[in-house]
Structure 1
């Protein structure tokens, strides 16, 4: 789980290197996760290009993509997968930047514990909502194909939609739940410092910093909701992939073959 030092793409990291519970290792240089690529500066282009990314899986809504289009690495193709399509404008993750731009709107939409409720609902949706199911199905089917990797997976801040994608994949590969949570919570270490200006502007405009913390960061309880929902509906991560996403044991084996080194 190696961070890539690109200041204009915070929260960019290679999920490889972590051990599975049977002693194997997740391959490096196959699966990267990050924020969106709309703010890549010229000085970072070469570093990003050196990763050799062939496919960028963009999990954002159409409106997010239109507002902040990716600056793709040379040779990479984009696959747009709108995880939250079925939720539309009601999704806080999809409308996060608009909401937090105005402390009055933020307080109305997120105050009184509503931020945590919204995110817990979204993490439940990641497992069950049809648009999420179809998006994650295409994502993992693509990664199982040698032609689609190295791959970069992102949403806007690379923490929620991307967080569940990465967590569920690592669990399927045999990574311990402890290490999965470790990778998930690294977002607070890598992303929040890059967003300090957002916090400062919000406070200057009269907002309460504490209101943004559960919005711009991640919390263990968010991912716990996805895991609980997955287990309640499907029992195991393997059944989630087969019965939930329609990716049978053959595709799961291809994912492990592609992503795990003995």
Structure 2
């Protein structure tokens, strides 16, 4: 079921589930606290609405207990998740406090009109929209409440957990990046996981790009919205630095997690025994 990729990608595991793009385990990289970030604890993906019966059986093998759905209420209603067997769905509307919500989720409905896309997304507008979103992931009250619930759930053992939004790249990208940083992963490993979305997700949009070309549109206008860029995640990290100083203080003050929860969350995410086992060999 699994396919292990090379060292350049941090020995991550991806999974052969065609109807669930961008699925991977966020664990496996080294932690500065010793050992490594645990595998089999937190997975990330796109939404589960298109999951086929066959692929659902494959996903069941991961034994997911909790699906943290970071989409808006409208997105969840429009495309409900097909849950793995025995999994509990936890809806967490990260963008509830934002008026324009998720532009990317509405993109399939607007690409039929290239003039509208050019007006809304040209001249860096798509990039500016995403940069604002990534700052909101740190500063907005609905985002803090959503990521707080996710963090508490993981700390309390609602794992293995699957975290997703619509495309599994922005709201999910910050969820994965923040957890990895809190678990002691270095920034190179965090950015490698984050940017890998471009390899796993963008090819799945080729039918959309082809349709857009056919009506006279420029697919290049869609890339900043449908892919990820290093400066997007940097915007979240800058917001953390400006508001809280460190990722630890973001979890403590921004997400209002007490010391016991912080310690339990880190223990849940970091496998220090892995380092001890390597030393003993």
- TM-score, normalised with respect to structure 2: 0.90
Distance 2:111 2:242 in 1: 33
Structure 2: which 5+ runs fail to align?
Answer: 1-11, 273-281
Aligned residue runs from structure 1 range 86-125, under 5 A:
86-125=97-136
Counterpart of 1:155?
165
Counterpart of 1:141?
152
CA spacing shift, 1:72–1:82, aligned 2, 3 Å: same
1:213 and 2:223 equivalent? yes
Bigger Rg over Cα:
2
Counterpart of 2:258?
248
CA spacing shift, 1:88–1:211, aligned 2, 3 Å: same
Counterpart of 1:41?
52
How many residues were matched structurally?
A: 261
Which of residues 231, 238, 249 is equivalent to 1:239? 249
- Tell me if structure 2 keeps the 8 A contact 1:60–1:94: no
Counterpart of 2:237?
227
Structure 1: which 5+ runs fail to align?
Answer: none
RMSD: 1.3
1:201 and 2:211 equivalent? yes
Which of residues 187, 207, 211 is equivalent to 1:177? 187
- TM-score, normalised with respect to structure 1: 0.96
Counterpart of 1:126?
137
| Residues 42-86 of structure 1: per-residue CA shift (max 9 Å, x gap) | 221211110100100000001111111110111011000000011
Pairwise CA distance, 1:98: 3.4
Q: Which moved more, 1:103-112 or 1:223-232?
A: 103-112
Distance 1:242 1:254 in 2: 13
Counterpart of 1:10?
21
Distance 2:224 2:100 in 1: 20
Distance 1:51 1:4 in 2: 10
Query: Partner of 1:37: helix, strand, or coil?
Result: coil
